[in-house]
Chain A
Amino acid sequence: DAKTTQPNSMESNEEEPVHLPCNHSTISGTDYIHWYRQLPSQGPEYVIHGLTSNVNNRMASLAIAEDRKSSTLILHRATLRDAAVYYCILRDGAGGTSYGKLTFGQGTILTVHP
């Protein structure tokens, strides 16, 4: 499985933007970049995904580097409810038994200060 690298932790202040980086230098041309987050004592929840172009939804924006070797999840205005572990995942697109598999790394612990 192609791997991702994220900082162990980041901090932000409430109402400020947050940029969460992810490196995935071994990404293949068919892998989608997915982001999930896990709030305390809950199962992970989907945030956003993309392939090549930048993506926006109601939760966040995803900026993908032109060479696709890195991406950044952007929370435009952090709230206390955004405090969570954020996971950057490459969804396997190579086919075979691992097609579609979601492999989680350690993620980034985001702390939001009031």
Chain B
Amino acid sequence: GAGVSQSPSNKVTEKGKDVELRCDPISGHTALYWYRQSLGQGLEFLIYFQGNSAPDKSGLPSDRFSAERTGGSVSTLTIQRTQQEDSAVYLCASSLDRGRSTEAFFGQGTRLTVV
């Protein structure tokens, strides 16, 4: 595909359930980023990958959140035992590498609603 693809675009889940959010980066991009954006707020950094490894996991809010990336491509963000405060738009971005001068391309996000 031409851009970063995220699925599902919308997800409604019951409190306490686990959810998986998927990100397909642009082919060949080695750096991949996850962000969270609550209603009316800015982007909150969660985690980023360089290849399959995650040098910086500092933004994950709790141990209910985890992410993995396989084959240097697709990434999955998993939220266990979802809470209402997890409701937000989850955005994924990729860039050719994590170099300071490269631009990041964002997906359209997954809107997660926990009821």
Contacts and interface: CB of A to CB of B under 8 A. Distances in A.
Interface of A: 30-32, 34, 36, 42-46, 49, 51, 87, 91-93, 96-107
Nearest to A48: B103
Interface string B99-111: 1111111111100
Interface in B79-115: 91, 93, 95, 97-109
B104 A30 contact: no
Identify the interface centre among A32, A44, A96: most chain B CB within 10 Å of its CB: A44
A103 B42 CA distance: 10
Interface of B: 4, 31, 33, 35, 42-43, 45, 48, 50, 55-56, 91, 93, 95, 97-109
A31 B4 CA distance: 25
Given A31-B100, A44-B93, A97-B56, 5 more contacts: A49-B103, A93-B100, A100-B102, A101-B56, A102-B45
